[in-house]
């Protein structure tokens, strides 16, 4: 049963409430007590908190004068905020956590209490009305914004090809909305393994091949001033064309169709993600457009072009009038 809390007066007329015994030992104790004073000029009520240690002498506790502190209203507020933010996570052994408001805390508590696999969480949240359509969109947008920031930092970090294969597996949406999903099978035949076999939105099989962003794109211009693909890019193009040829050879194989989950295989397309174009001039942009026009089933796209398209999709950067590339005409 709740009891009434009374404000008392000291012998000097100072208001206070019942002290809180923080800790009591055989020879010492610590206490906290709220005081309330009246400002002599403004008449404003001022609350303070005194925390002090006491020592026991002949059965009586006496305050240790050098072991006490009095906090003002502002200091009390700051202390309360600090305790609310850090005490519970640290006390439960957490090493990484995020502060949320009351509504968000209640939401997360409800999610935790459902006790079901992650695959069912979203469905249950929708059914219960906790996860609204707007909230779902906001969560997805936040995740994709973080992915774009990670992508932008990583393209200059010299990561190996395996890093990018894993990154795109986790962020398939960056590759384009025309892909429904990444197929679990990567083997084309006993010797050829693609980075990704994709099921396109039309239900047909396509390929995505990933190379590093730091690979050279062009050689020096020839005697006529024409830009030519580097030997590394030429090798990557040859690899992609070979994959497309091998897939078409396998299109009537029952074993292959089982491995690609009966995804229809007719004239597969390939996206090759390769190199950078952040510092290209008009001639280099034009050369890539001419190069892509030479292939009917292959499209080469740079990491910077993927980054720009992802930003445009999220509204992070607006397309300007002097953009060299017309993104609407890209087949991917």
Instruction: Please choose, from the candidates 318, 326, 205, the residue with its C-alpha nearest in 3D space to the C-alpha of residue 260.
Output: 205
pLDDT of residue 296: 92
- Average pLDDT over the chain reads 84
Q: Which of 136, 166, 147 shows the shortest CA–CA distance to 310?
A: 147
| Cα–Cα distance list, 162 to 167, 179, 210, 306 (Å) | 9, 21, 9, 18
Q: What is the pLDDT of residues 237-272, one digit of tens each?
A: 999 999 999 999 998 889 899 889 999 999 999 999
How many Å apart are CA 199 and CA 191, to the nearest integer? 22
Q: Where in the chain is the domain with CATH 3.10.450?
A: 8-91
Given 3.40.1350, 3.40.630, 3.30.70, 1.10.260, which CATH number is that of 158-329?
Answer: 3.40.1350
**Fold of domain 8-91:** Nuclear Transport Factor 2; Chain: A, (3.10.450)
pLDDT category at 142 given cuts 50, 70, 90 is confident
pLDDT tens for 49-83 read 999 998 888 888 888 877 889 998 889 889 998 88
Render pLDDT for 7-22 as a digit per residue (tens, 0 to 9): 888 888 889 999 999 9
191 pLDDT more than 60 = yes
Range(s) within the chain of domains with CATH label 3.40.1350: 158-329
Q: Tell me, what's the pLDDT at 323? A: 46
pLDDT of residue 332: 42
Q: How far apart are CA 172 and CA 142, in angstroms?
A: 16
Report the C-alpha gap between 303 and 180 in whole angstroms: 21
**Res 199: pLDDT:** 93
CB 214 within 8 A of CB 159: no
Residue 134 pLDDT: 64
Residue 200, token pair as written in the block: 């396109």
Q: What pLDDT is stored for residue 128 in this prediction?
A: 64
Whole-angstrom distance, CA of residue 307 vs CA of residue 312: 9
90 by DSSP, 3-state: which? helix
- What's the pLDDT score for residue 132? 62
DSSP string, 51-80: EEEEEEETTEEEEEEEEEEEE-HHHHHHHH
């Amino acid at each position: 049963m709740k009891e009434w809390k009374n404000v008392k007066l000291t012998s000097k007329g100072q208001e206070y409430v019942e002290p809180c015994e923080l800790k009591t030992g055989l020879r010492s104790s610590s206490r906290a007590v709220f005081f309330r004073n009246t400002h002599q000029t403004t008449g404003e009520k001022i609350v303070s908190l005194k925390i002090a240690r006491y020592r026991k002498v002949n059965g009586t506790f006496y305050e240790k004068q050098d072991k006490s502190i009095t906090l003002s209203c502002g200091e009390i507020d700051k202390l309360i905020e600090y305790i609310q933010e850090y005490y519970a996570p640290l006390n439960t052994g957490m090493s990484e956590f995020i502060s949320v408001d009351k509504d968000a805390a209640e939401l997360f508590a409800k999610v935790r209490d459902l006790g079901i696999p992650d695959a069912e969480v979203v469905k249950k949240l929708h059914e219960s009305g906790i996860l609204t359509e707007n909230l779902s969109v906001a969560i997805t947008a936040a995740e994709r914004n973080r992915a774009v920031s990670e992508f932008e930092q990583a393209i200059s970090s010299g990561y190996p090809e395996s890093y990018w294969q894993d990154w795109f597996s986790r962020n398939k949406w960056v590759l384009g909305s025309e892909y429904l999903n990444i197929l679990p099978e990567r083997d084309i035949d006993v010797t050829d393994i693609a980075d990704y076999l994709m099921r396109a939105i039309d239900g047909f099989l396509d390929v995505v091949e990933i190379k590093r962003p730091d690979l050279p794109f062009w050689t020096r211009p020839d005697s006529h001033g024409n830009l030519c693909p580097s030997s590394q890019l030429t090798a990557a193009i040859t690899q992609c064309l070979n994959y497309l040829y091998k897939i078409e050879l396998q299109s009537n194989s029952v074993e292959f169709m089982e491995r690609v989950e009966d995804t229809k295989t007719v004239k597969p397309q390939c996206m090759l993600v390769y190199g950078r174009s952040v510092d290209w001039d008009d001639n280099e942009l034009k050369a890539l457009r001419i190069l892509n026009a030479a292939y009917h089933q292959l499209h080469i796209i740079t990491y910077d072009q993927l980054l720009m398209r992802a930003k445009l999709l999220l509204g992070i950067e607006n397309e300007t009038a002097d953009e060299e590339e017309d993104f609407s005409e890209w087949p991917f």
